Amino acid sequence: MKKLLLLGDSIRGGYAMSVKASLEGKAEVVYPTDSGRFAAYTLRMISDVRNEFKENIDVIHWNAGLWDCLRQFEEEPNTPIEMYEYFIDRICQRMRMLFPESTIVFATSTKVLEERLNKKVFCRYNAEIDAYNEVAVKVVKKYGFFVDDLNAVSKELPKEAHSDGVHYYTSMGTKAFTMQVINSVKPHLGIEEDIEYKEVLHKSAVHGF
């Protein structure tokens, strides 16, 4: 049975358990308990992930970006977009070094509900999310990685799919992202049949996102 590794921020946390449940018996799904947070942190944690999951990883599905474009107290984004590009490139190099045989899929960062966010304290803007996604996609394609456009899926979802201004911990949001992720990795896992969705909702509080 092939193995799928899921990496990423708390958006990944929203679909990881449902992906695992839905692919039971078809593929082994693993993921760290820690969030990938921002790109620089993801770069640091990849070697820890390699040490944790020592067996062969056939497919890696990952994201990084929402922490990077976060603006706090009306300041500049946490990671300037030029540095974000730099770190995404470093992540690609590190993944290729540590997982040379793995197929790698990058997931774009998802849309937020700007009107639900406190612009004076903790905010993201969809125009900036789009810009960071564009930079990341350009870099990962250079390394031959595949792209799962979760952002496009998020833009088609109604407000009711959101559990807050950023996350999608609802039945509607979880199902949409779970099936998108599954469909993006199925060809690389050698799965041809349709997958029955099995829901496991994320219920934990989100900290530091």
Place of tokens 């929402």: 66
Q: Which residues contact 178 (CB under 8 A, 6 or more apart)?
A: 15, 18, 19, 22, 197, 199
200, burial (CB in 10 Å: exposed 0-12, middle 13-18, buried 19+)? middle
Structural domains in the chain plus CATH codes: 3-189 (3.40.50.1110)
In this predicted model, what pLDDT tens digit does every residue of 86-117 receive, in sequence order? Answer: 999 999 999 999 999 999 999 999 999 999 99
Beta bridge partners of 107: 148
Q: Reply yes or no on whether the pLDDT at 207 is more than 80.
A: no
Cα–Cα distance between 102 and 48 in angstroms, integer? Answer: 17
Place of tokens 């990883």: 57
In this predicted model, what pLDDT tens digit does every residue of 2-37 receive, in sequence order? Answer: 999 999 999 999 999 999 999 999 999 999 999 999
Cα–Cα distance between 89 and 41 in angstroms, integer? Answer: 13
**pTM for the whole thing?**
0.95
Beta bridge partners of 4: 29, 59
Cβ atoms within 10 Å of 103's Cβ, excluding its own: 19
For residues 81, 124, 147, 154, the Cα torsion angle rounded to the nearest 10 degrees is: -160
Cα–Cα distance between 86 and 83 in angstroms, integer? Answer: 5
Cα end-to-end span (Å), the chain = 34
In this predicted model, what pLDDT tens digit does every residue of 148-181 receive, in sequence order? Answer: 999 999 999 999 999 999 999 999 999 999 999 9
